[in-house]
Chain A
Amino acid sequence: MDFDLGEPAAELRTRLRALIAAHIPEGYLGAFSDDPADLDMAQRFCKTLADEGLLTVAWPTEYGGAGGSVWEQTVVREEMWAHHEPRGAQYMGLNWVGPAIMAFGTEEQKRRHLSAIAAGEVIWCQGFSEPDAGSDLAALSTRATPDGDGWRITGQKIWTSYAGMAQWCVLAARVGEGQRHEGITMFLVPMDAPGITVRPIKSMLGPHHLNEVFFDDVPAGADAVLGGVGEGWAVIRRALAHERVGIARYARCERLLSALGRELAPVWDHLPPALHTQWARALIQVRVARLLAYRTVRAQETGEPPDVMASAARIAVTQCDQQVAELLFQAIDHESLDSGATAPLHGAIEDHWRYAQAATVASGTIEVQRMIVSKALLGGRS
């Protein structure tokens, strides 16, 4: 038994922290703020990471990546999330769009897209959820109809993160009369194609996170299909498999819990005793969430089916995110209503609380995870 992630992972963590310290100012809360300079900073940092060969740590060497181990990939996820994801929206292209193109794409698609993603030059959005297809994604109804050699796409997507800033969309649409998984086809569509309208959804998360995207007879070439006509569900499964490992939310929770003590040091001893013990319990919850996430990564590494463990980890990680958010608010009390640079921890606590409210919904609801776990427990009954 050994919980040491290994020397390469430790060195990578040190290197990433040094780069973040050098390029990301204290108090940076991510690319998606009301200040466009924050997005510019993320774009510049992606270039820096690309120049250092650190943007594609997870990618195989044959596609210009570092061929990093699952533990090095874990370190990247943790350090980026702990420091408010200074890659901005590009993580999606790096984490799964690029790998999906490697797995399912044509040589032309690989040539066109992979080098741009690896260079930190392009933002992708993901057109999956629809108004009537959320957790039940196979109910999607956006339709692609043949048009000469290519296609015309019509339908509506919703909750689409970064659609307003993305250059490309990986889009799930239905071809033919098939039901459920049959006929689902993935398309790679430029967001400046005629017929695409993006409407931001105002939310407590802040700008850019949520949008509606309308596709009105949008043209797409035959070369836009990723993975074959009617073969889209395999691509979606790959994307969802990545999302099951999920965001390393515990890393930011731990960083904030650590920082809280220093932030409140002058009054720490005068906090209600219950807050001290809740703080200690939160540290345990965060550690447990991290360990469950590591168990999932280990399953990936050894080739075990990770589904149930991944769902268990997601339940623990997302619940811990919300518990920590509430504890932090309890600790800073009335200052929880402040935001921005003058708020406690430069507004990081307030930002975390708002974002945590979506943790148990984003990338698959906690109810779906519970269904997966209980089905495994009860032998198929769910």
Chain B
Amino acid sequence: MNPVLPEEAVEFGASASRAFAALGGVDAARRAEETPSLRAGEVAEAMVALGIDELDPRADPDTLAAAAALCEAAGRVALPYPLPSVLLRDGSGLPFAVVPDTHCRVDHGDLFGGWRVATLDGTATTASSDGAALGSRLGPFVADLQAGDALPPARDDVALHLTLTAWHVLGTADRAVELAVDHVRTRMQFGKPLAAFQAVQFQLADAAVAVAGLRELAHFTLWRLADAPTTALADVLALRVHALDVARSVLRTGQQLHGAAGVCDEYDISVLARHVQPALRLPCSAERTVAELAAVVERDGFDGLFPHGGSAVA
């Protein structure tokens, strides 16, 4: 029993964080909103320098862990680049995304002309982009693609994409707690720092516990993917549901403790809260994901750590 991420993965995540800091950290997201081509230029070059072309999450558990650490580091700065999609490119180089059943909507879909996309059940097609993005405040790089030809089912890649996206969300949530801690230690009100108020302390404690729990679940899910990939769908859906639930709650706390600054883009918390929205809403939001999870668990059970004869109802 060892719930700790391999040291190599931790080191790779740290290297990635240094590279993202060199891009300006959250400023890279701000700059990319002003100049979307930054993603295909400066950011993509930094990714190549990090060696993501040689990083295949399907290869082995250690590489998957490294990819997860990379995505977490990206989530901490709202990196304007679709790392899970690029890491799961197929043999012909098409990036991969999981899309809603009824709408071929992809974050950073404008960045590449051709895509491979799949719905939650693994049904896969090609897709193409006309290069236009929504440009909205909550989905600045989200694009609606045109679905194309059918491809072989991609269930394993769906599981990996959802997992890596959850690691990105974990990074955002973890950073949101850090930003809130930094803010309440320095922001003075009523003659003392906000951190001196127990109401503030307890909100931070709850947020930190939530992120710590999400982190353990994220570790566990990586192990399940490696140890029992064919039965890991419920585990992956559970991770996604929990990542979404935790992120919404923790970001809300982080923004609230920033006061009005929590919605101002000169503060990182606001940019993180905006840029994580596509990860929270695509391919579907938490309520639809948990309904899918309930159906899968009722059918297949949810054992894995503590078998009790299965949770399956049927």
Contacts and interface: CB of A to CB of B under 8 A. Distances in A.
A and B held together in a complex: yes
B262 to A, nearest CB: 18
A291 B220 contact: yes
A258 B311 contact: yes
Given A254-B306, A254-B308, A262-B313, A378 B2 contact: no
B209 A312 contact: yes
Interface in A171-207: none
Contacts of A377: 177, 181, 204-205, 208
A288 B213 CA distance: 5
Interface string B275-311: 0000000000001001101100110001011101111
Given A287-B238, A291-B220, A258 B309 contact: yes
A289 interface: yes
Contacts of A117: none
Interface string A337-351: 000000000000000
Interface in B175-233: 177, 181, 184-185, 193, 195-196, 198, 201-202, 204-206, 208-209, 212-214, 216-217, 219-220, 222-224, 227
A374 B1 CA distance: 28
B217 A287 contact: yes
B312 interface: yes
B222 to A, nearest CB: 6
A276 interface: yes
Contact residues of A: prevailing secondary structure: helix
A382 interface: yes
Interface stretch (A160-168, A214-222, A292-300): A292-300
B221 to A, nearest CB: 10
B117 to A, nearest CB: 26
Contacts of B311: 257-258, 261, 283
B3 A261 contact: no
Interface size grouping (class) on chain A: 35 or more
Contact of B1 (A5, A281, A290): A5
B212 A309 contact: yes
A373 B208 contact: yes
B241 A378 contact: no
A4 B205 contact: no
A64 B78 CA distance: 56
Given A290-B306, A370-B202, A281 B241 contact: yes
Interface of A: 1-6, 71, 78, 82, 251, 254-255, 257-258, 261-262, 265, 268, 273, 276-277, 279-281, 283-284, 287-292, 294-295, 298, 309, 312, 315-316, 367, 369-371, 373-375, 377-379, 381-382
11 contacts: A4-B227, A284-B217, A284-B242, A284-B293, A288-B217, A292-B216, A312-B212, A367-B202, A371-B201, A378-B184, A378-B204
Interface of B: 1-6, 61, 65, 177, 181, 184-185, 193, 195-196, 198, 201-202, 204-206, 208-209, 212-214, 216-217, 219-220, 222-224, 227, 238, 241-242, 245, 287, 290-291, 293-294, 297-298, 302, 304-306, 308-313
9 nearest A-B residue pairs (beta carbon): A291-B216, A374-B201, A261-B313, A280-B294, A373-B205, A370-B205, A288-B213, A374-B205, A276-B294
